[in-house]
Structure 1
Amino acid sequence: MPIADILPASGIKVIAAVSSKKRLFHDLGDMADACFGMDQTVVIDALLERENLGPTGVGQGIALPHARLPGLSQVCGLFLRLKKPLDFDSVDRQPVDLVFALFAPEEAGVSHLKALALVSRTLRDEGICAKLRANEDPSTIYTILTEASAAYAA
């Protein structure tokens, strides 16, 4: 499954600054509504609920918030690059500037885990992250993510 299967070109945004993790989840809710027609409140609540189980900041400035949602037929994702890093309670205590959110159907098992593994492997590549951080154009970021993931597709 390549990233292009879960991330639409319209699902990428570069944001100057976000005041809190909750505000970030509101932005993701807005994007999920615009890109996939998801209910913003359901998205925000699901992300907050998952985050309460443990932070999804995986280190090196990367966060992978994710949630299972009713009514979805497939895994889908959104990507944000923050110009000003945000404290995200990450495992390495470093602020986050690259956020890849994943949403999966409630009954998704393997497909959700495969998508999470693919995104994680892709963003573990320091060269890819450097390119993402050096670009502000959403279409360029989309190209970086989708071309890079082809090498990591599971």
Structure 2
Amino acid sequence: MDMSCLLKAEAVRVIGSPSSKKRLFQELGEVAQAVYGLNAGAAIDCLQERESLGPTGVGHGVALPHARIDGRDTVCGVFVKLERPFDYGSVDKAPVDLVFALFAPRDAGVEHLKALAYVSRTLRDPAVCAKLRANSEPLTLHAILSSASKSKAA
């Protein structure tokens, strides 16, 4: 798996701190619509539905919201760096500032799980997260994610 298959450079954004998780999901849905042509409302609803099953804040300031959605042929992602961390309700209670959302076809099965594991491995690396936190240019953030994932491909 390659980050370029999951994440377009245009789907990387830097935003302020959202007022709520719902507002963050709205931002993610709007980016997914603009970049991948997803229905923003459906994307937001699917993220909220998944989140109701349990928090997707995985710890150390990272959240991996994900959803299965109609109208997709492949898994795609949106990465958002928050200028100010906010309380996401993560498992470790730490505020979140790095968010990688995945949108998968409704019947993706293993493809969705592989993408989630791949992104999780990438963002579990403290050095990668430190580089992401030290930069605020979307193209640089995309390059960091892409180069980090290539080194983890093995």
TM-score, L = length of structure 2: 0.98
Structure 2 residue aligned with 1:53 = 53
1:3: how far off? 1.0
1:132: how far off? 0.1
Structure 2 residue aligned with 1:114 = 114
Structure 1 residue aligned with 2:83 = 83
* Count of residues paired in the alignment: 154
For 1:74, what is the secondary structure of its paired residue?
Answer: coil
Deviation digits for residues 42-88 of structure 1, max 9, x if unmatched?
00000000000000000000000000001100000000000111111
Structure 2: any 5+ residue segments left out of the alignment? none
Structure 1 segments, 4+ long, off by >4 Å, are none
Q: Distance in 2 between matches of 1:108 and 1:136?
A: 32
Structure 1 residue aligned with 2:43 = 43
Deviation digits for residues 84-121 of structure 1, max 9, x if unmatched?
11111100000000000000001101111111011000
Q: Distance in 2 between matches of 1:41 and 1:16?
A: 21
Structure 1 residue aligned with 2:137 = 137
* AA aligned opposite 2:32: A
1:153: how far off? 2.5
1:137: how far off? 0.2
Structure 1 residue aligned with 2:151 = 151
